[in-house]
Structure 1
Amino acid sequence: MRALLIALLPGVFAVDSSKFKTCTQSSFCDRYRAWTRLAEGTRKPYMVPRTDLKEISQSVFEGSLRHSALPKDHPAPLTFQLRFYDDNTIRFTVDEKDEVVQGVRKRYRIPANDVIREDRLKPLHGVKYVFEPRSATSTFDLGDATTLTLDHDKAILALSVDGRIVQTINGQQQLVVEGTRRQRNDKCPYGLADLSDSYIDPACSPGNHSGLWEESFHSHTDHKPFGPSLVGVDVTFHGKVPAAYGLPEHATTAQKLKAGGDEDDALYRFYNLDVFEYEMDSHAAIYGSIPILTALQRFGGKSSDIATTTTTSSSSVLWLNPSDTFVSLTQRKDTGTWSSLIEGLISGSSTAEPTSLTSWFVSESGIIDLFLFPQRTPQKILNAYHSLTGLAPLPPLFSLGKHQCRWNYKDESEVRELVANFDKYNIPVDVVWLDIEHTDHKKYHTWNEKYFPDPKQMLEDLKAGGREMVTIVDPHIKQDTTYFVYSEGLAQDVFVKKRPDEVYSGHCWPGTSVYPDFTNSSVRQWWASYFKADGVNAGFYTWNDMNEPSVFNGPEVSMDRDLIHGGDIEHRDVHNIYGQYFHRATFEGHAKHRRPGQRPFVLTRSFYVGSHMYGPMWTGDNEASWLHLKAVLPMLVTLSATAGYSFVGADVGGFFGHPEEELFTRWHQLSAATNPFYRSHAHIESPRREPWEYSEAARNRVKEAVQRRYQMLPFWYTLFARYSLYGEAILRPLWFDHLHDANTYACPVDGCDEILDSQVVLGRDVMVRGVVESGTNNVSVYLPEGARWYNAKDEMMPVGMNENMAVTMDTIPHFYRAGSIIPLKMRQRPSTKAMRGDPITLEVFVDPNTNTAEGQMYLDDGNSLDSIDRADYTLSTIKFDGQSISSTEVSGKGDFSILVERIDIIGLSKAVRERILNNPSISAKMSSASGNRVTIKRPNGVVMGKPWSIDLTSIQTH
């Protein structure tokens, strides 16, 4: 849903960008950008005293930072820490010292364990630390050919992997903290006289700087009781950097980030906002913020020709600061100055790499909290990220099926009619959703009794058919003394404040509304208590929307930055994490109260680092257009492959507008095949768009796409299990597992990037190419080198080239990796619950180079929250070796099993194929037009979840 209802009038479908700030309109960003543009030598560098750093606990080193322009007798105002974790992740934090701030304030940092699971992190053992006085450098040897070097005189960090510099922090001398001012209108920090000519920080520098203590945007004035407070630093990725990825969430049709410099439209902004009809291919902020940046880096050649370089690796950084943030990306030649000198120090070479990627991160307030990931490969970086933020819990099995939503299914009879039509047309569906109109005047946890007189019976009827229901619960609370949530919240003092003695109110769907302070753990507990296990709302799952938070009459359609959380924290400090705290509180309400021991399902629109722990997200209010269909994969793949958020989806068909038949069909074909969270949704003014509202041909094509989704659910569920067990990305771009193939990220052919952006790999084994343009009869597909792929006709495809394929309206291209085994359920059912006991089909795609294949299948009860913690599951590994197929490796302690009714083997050698077909003791036949598939029906005694083996030469089962 969107902003003011007036904006929802027919024909008004365009973002009003004037409602949202640019860097120029954000005083802190404009100040920092001007600071970074100063001539070399103008900014005086920070420095670290030429002494050993103190190891304050295992693998945690601490030192002081002082500005070289400060008076010599002035104490160092900043303290920094370097923390080394057992997977070689490095954490660099910078904060002000309490004795220098003198109690004026304490900068906000996210509490321990709220995002970073600090109680579970293991320090890196055996860090070898050496301080070299002559060169004034500290070196940390982390093992695994990874070192970190600190230049004390310039406060520059250099991260080296395999003898090569991969990252430098503050190499451009742009690290800065605007120090605390002790008196209002002080231009310079710490009670210093006016030293602005010395360039202490961006505010304490020559000239007049606006917005230090207050600034206005349209009719809103932001009061800043602590004055200027920005923090910023530069990060350079070395080597030849042909591509960079990440920095979600932004509305984009391209996976690859654009290194466009520091002008307003080139900067990537992170400030969670309710953006009406967001603009595509824009770097402007939208609903979520995970400021993680991944660079692909090639080393070994001196030419800019990528073909002459030898190795490709990846490294990442994560900026953990929930205040308003801008990021700049610039590709440039290394100068051969400091970076080449430090490289020479470490590797004995002074060769500068040709095209590094330089970035800077700046936030309005808070501290510098930067994580460095040197783990070389994208998946190892994700493993390290999940070590920090946690492994996502498994979702309930039903949530991987089809979800059906619109604003709004108006009453109980319409809900029943909806489900009846899905059954009538044999289209599976698992979940029906209700938007805000189901409530009593937008008061959440209530029902409109005129249209929903008996919601409990409605839900029981849905459950009897194997379906579930989700209802919306937003964070804005109607200011009405007769509304129990408001009156109880007021009594318990849970709401965000305008002043210490005044509750803040803003305008949202119910009218005048107040907002719980979800940053407070006791408020989260209070909120969780409303998700009771009994009463009228028991049994429903939850959708959290508008949680950026959206305030229709607020600045940038959100809260004022100077509002008060927890007594002494400003909203500016916590803005981007507010939505996650709301999401978390709802998740905990389900886990602790509504369904203890069972898996919650809570959808969110706003998200932050770590939101994957609490349920899926979706990309918000998209548009029924081909451009927005084109954006589905790039936006979702970026979240999954770089930010560790794999339970993601986009509204099928587009929220605004109405998709014509071809667009509707193509959107379902793509989303059913690729979206981990697969939901249809539509605006209240959009015409009805259930599949039966279109032609019979379109309805049948959608039905086939949905039915294939359900056939693939054993594969999908296994992907989710590996995501929850190991942090493996579910959606992957081609470069993720194929860094050896430069065409997956640096293809020299015009239009190649658009082809790659239309493809995705599910896990490692299934590739899908979306059809994202109208009237298309053929598409180009790139199949990466290093793997072989079968098409849907069981034909082996050529690799390493753009293959042109004819397409019809009936399907979109699918490919299966040679060497994989895919578990399926082929019987047509109306829901996941109805499929529970159905037997398995195994599709074995033989690798012609090795004559082998391997896959896995995960089984559990589909609903217990602690299945993985208690190892109450089975994870079976299935192997084909050219002569036999077996599943002898079964992990987990659960007792789950399911019959295998069919094994299809694709790509057998001719000799083995003939032996199977001529064996009278089994039911085997050729079963594809290509003559490349052999089907073994009802193999005796083959049960997934238990060990088994079939010798294909004699067809004996063990």
Structure 2
Amino acid sequence: MIRWIVSSAIFAIYLLELSSGFKEHEFKKCKDTGFCRRHRTKSGPKFDVLHETASVSGHELRATLRNMDAGKTFNLIVRAHSSGTIRLLLDEDLDPSVTNGTRYRISPEDSVTLPSFETTVTPWKTISKTTKDIVVVSGDVQVTLTFAAFKMLVVVKGKPALSLNSKGLFDMEHFRLKEEGVECDGCWSETFLQFTDSKPHGPEAMSLDIAFPGFEHVYGLPEHATSFALKPTVGGEPYRLYNLDVFEYLDSSPFGLYGSIPMMVAHKVGLTIGVFWLNAAEMFVDVSKEGSNTATQWIAESGIVDLFIFTGPGPAEVQQQYAEVTGPTAMPQQFSVGYHQCRWNYKDEADVHLVDSGFDEHEIPYDVIWLDIEHTNGKRYLTWDSHLFPKPIELQNDVASRGRETVTIVDPHVKRDHSYYIFQEAQSEGYFVKNPQGGDFEGWCWPGSSSYLDVTNPTVRAWWAQQFALDKYQGSTEHLYIWNDMNEPSVFNGPEITMQKDLIHHGNVEHRDVHNLYGLFYHMGTAEGLTLRGYQTHGEDGDRPFVLSRAFFSGTQRVGPIWTGDNTADWKHLAVSIPMLLSLGVTGLPFSGADVGGFFGNPDAELITRWNQLGTYYPFFRGHAHLETQRREPWLFGEPATSRIRAAIRERYALMPYIYTLFRHANISGQPIMRPLWFEFPDAKELFHVEDSFLLGSAILVSPVLQQGVDNVDLVLPKGARWFNAHSGEETQGAGKPVKTKVDMESIPVYYKGGSIVPRRERPRRSTRMQMKDPFTLIVALDGNWSAAGDLYLDDGRSFAFLRGQYTHREFKFEGLKLRSAVHNSGSAVVTSVGSWAPAQDLEVERVVFLGLPKTGKGYTARMPDGTEVSLEAGAASTKFSQAENAWVLRQPKLGVDADWVVELVAHK
């Protein structure tokens, strides 16, 4: 009993410290980290390529690299791939007398990269070889490997794209025996606050010197609450990639947050490239600017150099090349693209029913209600508090009767309680992470004393997946989905609120090697559990999993969505959500969002309204709040705020066909949902720094209001396109620079790009499931040539039947005053057959709105597929477009969604 009281007191202290907000001194900076101190901005030892070893065999350029100071050798391999990706591998040529182990390497078996990528190799052609260098080429990519000192230059279509070790900062520490009396900063042991890392393998760090000639802007390296275009860091703190539970994080900081993707995208006029270092250890990245050039230094604590260079040459090609390596985005359930309502915590079943009915009472659509940790029996996950939630199955079925789903939280810490079946079985099977002495690691989190599943072990992940079967997870139904929180992993009494690095995982791998992978592995195991459950309950076509994760790494996009963690209800956090989500999008993780309204604090009516107006266009749209905040369901702010929030959420549902189609493109080719302006206008230099506006797909530009009490915004509409106000239909010319534009509280500036066709569903419904039989409206926004194109993807919104062709994907084109519908050609090897989803045969286009048609004195007539003619109405497509001078509406055309047809417009002069 005394031990329990003491432990509970310690736990209470941790909770008190966490609740008081971000404590900078509890987290490391470069100066507190030996490997970063040893390498940052310091020239490494001289490395030479032994020229006699450099040779080309098929798709591989091989050579031996020597540390000329230490006499140690490393194996260098440069591979060419058919998509234009270059892969560079550097591993140590180990001396058995020094170590009987190997450096940790992430392999395809770890499910980060796709095994299929290994088969995409293509031959190098040797252009020349001298005693100075070797030059090889593959397609549009040329690589020059300089021997002394080691340097590698990549040229794409004749343009210098990337230089490795041009500043001489490359270093790769070799394995060694500990020598008494030899100084080595933080190599063999390191202490931070009260925590000591034993570092049994000694120094293993690497420094990569990567320069981007002619590139003024680089992007990526999520997750950081800072600008989209990465700022210079030399003289300040470098960007850090180390997954941590950062309570109430700061904006405008390079500090690493909950997830890590070690990928950077460089963009300039005429060329986009990307670099991705497949390494899950702690990493620091410096950025420096020298005129029109950008230089970077990447420092990782352990592992090997496994560097992918994506040579584009455009933004879309870089995204597709990255997706070829780590996979495209999983096709989500349609409900998950709707609005989610979450709070820590909805306190009991009556509370859930009250919130659920409140949405219907106020005619606001939503799809998912969430339950946080208080729904469990004493923080034992996969259980229910029998007093607060005595009838969980009835609750879920009642919510589902209105087309909605329920989500419960499941975290990776397992309460150490021998009466808890999860702990008892996992302990008996040896499934927990081990301490250096070989026993189960014990840390503290929400339940108190906890152990953590070693999800790096495929056997443990498979066991964990089985726990989500309906007969295992008592009280669950097929309408219950999962939220993985705290999976960085969060350990309240650990260094930096996480695991110490010398803990041991499957295969005798240290935690330092796999830290940034842990959250992904836990996410994978949970999603696999819902997938298995889906096949058990739905049969052949199963049920796509929905699992939200806080921690992430490369490959997370194949598993499920993430969100940006514990933000705050203030205007700065509203604004920084845009660059955070753009960074995730261009590094291959597009299904992401920020807590609408801010997790901490209490937004006023203006802030919550503006945040919902922006959240409408987030890929993942969820309102969420801390336990100690005031209740903030959308109707609690009174009028006119409730009406404005209702309009914003309804707009999300009207755009569901367009957004779901964007997810299909992400599923096929890895394209981001939320895009920087330069993604679609890659040669417009004036857009390279813009981060307060963005594109949703290619067709919709969003310019949110990010400041309190303003009546205008600086609107940036790119030149070279026509732009149509999505609320009024009026055309505005793109200036390519900020233009003062009036705003009111009813909406934020949103524009259709000329040349786009956007499918919508305009009828208000309570959820996405209730929309499934609704007809469509097509917005046809014409470019300067009076043409436009778009597409519409449909499936059952739930199962894996789309993988066997049960889907409908149509493309729409408007040219020469003719609107056509035909089967969409994806142009991707991922889609192997043209699909047909039978229910689409009963769906129709009920209205077509044309924006930007040539002026005509007597209007237009539409010649329908059956030869009949229908007059178009001028102006009012809906009340929104009543002021549009060149808006014309075709009503009730009864055009089949799943049919080929042509509608011809005839102008009457």
CA spacing shift, 1:86–1:486, aligned 2, 3 Å: same
Residue 257 of structure 1 corresponds to 230
2:260 equivalent to 1:289: yes
Residue 248 of structure 1 corresponds to 222
The secondary structure found in structure 2 opposite 1:109 is coil
> Which residue, 457, 475, 482 being the options, matches 1:536?
475
Check whether the contact 1:88–1:124 (CA below 8 A) recurs between aligned residues: no
Residue 83 of structure 2 corresponds to 87
In structure 2, C-alpha distance between the alignment counterparts of 1:884 and 1:877, rounded to whole Å: 14
Check whether the contact 1:403–1:678 (CA below 8 A) recurs between aligned residues: yes
Return 567-576 or 381-390, whichever deviates more. 567-576
Query: In the TM superposition, what is the alpha-carbon distance from 1:182 to its structure 2 partner?
Result: 2.9
2:604 equivalent to 1:660: yes
In structure 1, C-alpha distance between the alignment counterparts of 2:477 and 2:743, rounded to whole Å: 47
CA spacing shift, 1:11–1:644, aligned 2, 3 Å: closer
CA spacing shift, 1:185–1:644, aligned 2, 3 Å: farther
In structure 1, C-alpha distance between the alignment counterparts of 2:85 and 2:859, rounded to whole Å: 53
Query: In the TM superposition, what is the alpha-carbon distance from 1:373 to its structure 2 partner?
Result: 1.5
Letter in 2 for 1:730: I
2:781 equivalent to 1:845: yes
In structure 2, C-alpha distance between the alignment counterparts of 1:277 and 1:949, rounded to whole Å: 55
Residue 339 of structure 1 corresponds to none
CA spacing shift, 1:918–1:162, aligned 2, 3 Å: closer
Check whether the contact 2:434–2:505 (CA below 8 A) recurs between aligned residues: yes
Residue 890 of structure 2 corresponds to 936
Check whether the contact 2:861–2:871 (CA below 8 A) recurs between aligned residues: no
Check whether the contact 1:478–1:486 (CA below 8 A) recurs between aligned residues: yes
In structure 2, C-alpha distance between the alignment counterparts of 1:576 and 1:126, rounded to whole Å: 33
2:769 equivalent to 1:833: yes
In structure 2, C-alpha distance between the alignment counterparts of 1:183 and 1:532, rounded to whole Å: 50
Letter in 2 for 1:428: P
2:277 equivalent to 1:319: yes
In structure 2, C-alpha distance between the alignment counterparts of 1:497 and 1:163, rounded to whole Å: 52
Query: In the TM superposition, what is the alpha-carbon distance from 1:594 to its structure 2 partner?
Result: 4.4
CA spacing shift, 1:259–1:738, aligned 2, 3 Å: same
In structure 2, C-alpha distance between the alignment counterparts of 1:395 and 1:784, rounded to whole Å: 31
2:119 equivalent to 1:122: yes
The secondary structure found in structure 2 opposite 1:878 is strand
Residue 328 of structure 1 corresponds to 286
Check whether the contact 1:923–1:937 (CA below 8 A) recurs between aligned residues: no
2:54 equivalent to 1:59: no
The secondary structure found in structure 2 opposite 1:384 is helix
Query: In the TM superposition, what is the alpha-carbon distance from 1:931 to its structure 2 partner?
Result: 2.8
Q: Could you list the per-position Cα deviations for residues 57-91 of structure 1 after superposition, in whole angstroms to 9, with x for gaps in the alignment?
A: x41333211112245xxxx5311211211111111
In structure 2, C-alpha distance between the alignment counterparts of 1:731 and 1:917, rounded to whole Å: 35
In structure 1, C-alpha distance between the alignment counterparts of 2:397 and 2:366, rounded to whole Å: 16
Residue 815 of structure 1 corresponds to 751
Residue 23 of structure 1 corresponds to 30
Residue 830 of structure 2 corresponds to none
The secondary structure found in structure 2 opposite 1:413 is helix
Residue 578 of structure 1 corresponds to 518
In structure 1, C-alpha distance between the alignment counterparts of 2:721 and 2:666, rounded to whole Å: 22
In structure 2, C-alpha distance between the alignment counterparts of 1:379 and 1:786, rounded to whole Å: 19
Residue 902 of structure 2 corresponds to 949
2:434 equivalent to 1:494: no
CA spacing shift, 1:491–1:588, aligned 2, 3 Å: same
Residue 151 of structure 2 corresponds to 156
In structure 2, C-alpha distance between the alignment counterparts of 1:610 and 1:405, rounded to whole Å: 26
Letter in 2 for 1:548: E
After superposition, where does 1:562-577 map in structure 2 within 5 Å? 562-577=502-517
Check whether the contact 1:820–1:846 (CA below 8 A) recurs between aligned residues: yes
In structure 2, C-alpha distance between the alignment counterparts of 1:100 and 1:357, rounded to whole Å: 40
In structure 2, C-alpha distance between the alignment counterparts of 1:489 and 1:319, rounded to whole Å: 34
> Which residue, 692, 711, 715 being the options, matches 2:658?
715
RMSD over aligned CA atoms reads 2.1
**Which runs of 5 or more residues in structure 1 are unaligned?**
188-207, 298-310, 333-353, 746-752
Check whether the contact 2:243–2:258 (CA below 8 A) recurs between aligned residues: yes
Query: In the TM superposition, what is the alpha-carbon distance from 1:326 to its structure 2 partner?
Result: 0.3
The secondary structure found in structure 2 opposite 1:757 is coil
2:232 equivalent to 1:273: no
> Which residue, 739, 742, 747 being the options, matches 1:803?
739
The secondary structure found in structure 2 opposite 1:543 is strand
Residue 692 of structure 2 corresponds to 758
2:732 equivalent to 1:793: no
In structure 2, C-alpha distance between the alignment counterparts of 1:290 and 1:11, rounded to whole Å: 26
2:864 equivalent to 1:863: no
> Which residue, 42, 62, 68 being the options, matches 1:37?
42
The secondary structure found in structure 1 opposite 2:872 is strand
After superposition, where does 1:177-196 map in structure 2 within 5 Å? 177-183=172-178, 185=180, 187=182
The secondary structure found in structure 1 opposite 2:766 is coil
Q: Could you list the per-position Cα deviations for residues 257-301 of structure 1 after superposition, in whole angstroms to 9, with x for gaps in the alignment?
A: 10131x4x430001100011111111111101012112223xxxx
* TM-score relative to the length of structure 2: 0.93
Check whether the contact 1:185–1:213 (CA below 8 A) recurs between aligned residues: no
- Aligned residues between the structures: 868
Check whether the contact 1:623–1:655 (CA below 8 A) recurs between aligned residues: yes
2:416 equivalent to 1:458: no
In structure 2, C-alpha distance between the alignment counterparts of 1:377 and 1:890, rounded to whole Å: 23
In structure 2, C-alpha distance between the alignment counterparts of 1:781 and 1:4, rounded to whole Å: 50
CA spacing shift, 1:472–1:101, aligned 2, 3 Å: farther
The secondary structure found in structure 1 opposite 2:145 is strand
The secondary structure found in structure 2 opposite 1:588 is helix
2:332 equivalent to 1:408: no
In structure 2, C-alpha distance between the alignment counterparts of 1:111 and 1:719, rounded to whole Å: 31
Query: In the TM superposition, what is the alpha-carbon distance from 1:913 to its structure 2 partner?
Result: 6.6
Check whether the contact 2:658–2:758 (CA below 8 A) recurs between aligned residues: yes
Residue 440 of structure 1 corresponds to 377
Residue 47 of structure 1 corresponds to 48
The secondary structure found in structure 2 opposite 1:600 is coil
Query: In the TM superposition, what is the alpha-carbon distance from 1:177 to its structure 2 partner?
Result: 1.4
CA spacing shift, 1:866–1:23, aligned 2, 3 Å: farther
Letter in 2 for 1:536: G
In structure 1, C-alpha distance between the alignment counterparts of 2:296 and 2:706, rounded to whole Å: 32
Query: In the TM superposition, what is the alpha-carbon distance from 1:441 to its structure 2 partner?
Result: 0.4
Query: In the TM superposition, what is the alpha-carbon distance from 1:127 to its structure 2 partner?
Result: 1.8
* TM-score relative to the length of structure 1: 0.88
Query: In the TM superposition, what is the alpha-carbon distance from 1:934 to its structure 2 partner?
Result: 1.3
Residue 914 of structure 1 corresponds to 859
Check whether the contact 1:616–1:648 (CA below 8 A) recurs between aligned residues: yes
Query: In the TM superposition, what is the alpha-carbon distance from 1:319 to its structure 2 partner?
Result: 1.6
Return 214-223 or 857-866, whichever deviates more. 857-866
2:644 equivalent to 1:705: no
Check whether the contact 1:923–1:936 (CA below 8 A) recurs between aligned residues: yes
2:835 equivalent to 1:893: yes
CA spacing shift, 1:521–1:637, aligned 2, 3 Å: same
The secondary structure found in structure 1 opposite 2:115 is coil
Check whether the contact 2:855–2:886 (CA below 8 A) recurs between aligned residues: no
The secondary structure found in structure 2 opposite 1:51 is helix
After superposition, where does 1:716-795 map in structure 2 within 5 Å? 716-745=659-688, 753=689, 756-791=690-725, 792-795=727-730
The secondary structure found in structure 1 opposite 2:381 is coil
The secondary structure found in structure 2 opposite 1:181 is coil
After superposition, where does 1:473-552 map in structure 2 within 5 Å? 473-534=410-471, 535-539=474-478, 540-552=480-492
Check whether the contact 1:406–1:682 (CA below 8 A) recurs between aligned residues: yes
In structure 2, C-alpha distance between the alignment counterparts of 1:244 and 1:164, rounded to whole Å: 17
CA spacing shift, 1:866–1:235, aligned 2, 3 Å: farther
Check whether the contact 1:532–1:538 (CA below 8 A) recurs between aligned residues: no
In structure 2, C-alpha distance between the alignment counterparts of 1:112 and 1:917, rounded to whole Å: 55
The secondary structure found in structure 1 opposite 2:136 is strand
In structure 2, C-alpha distance between the alignment counterparts of 1:4 and 1:679, rounded to whole Å: 30
CA spacing shift, 1:63–1:91, aligned 2, 3 Å: same
Query: In the TM superposition, what is the alpha-carbon distance from 1:408 to its structure 2 partner?
Result: 0.4
Check whether the contact 1:249–1:285 (CA below 8 A) recurs between aligned residues: yes
Query: In the TM superposition, what is the alpha-carbon distance from 1:567 to its structure 2 partner?
Result: 4.4
Residue 874 of structure 1 corresponds to 808
Check whether the contact 1:400–1:677 (CA below 8 A) recurs between aligned residues: yes
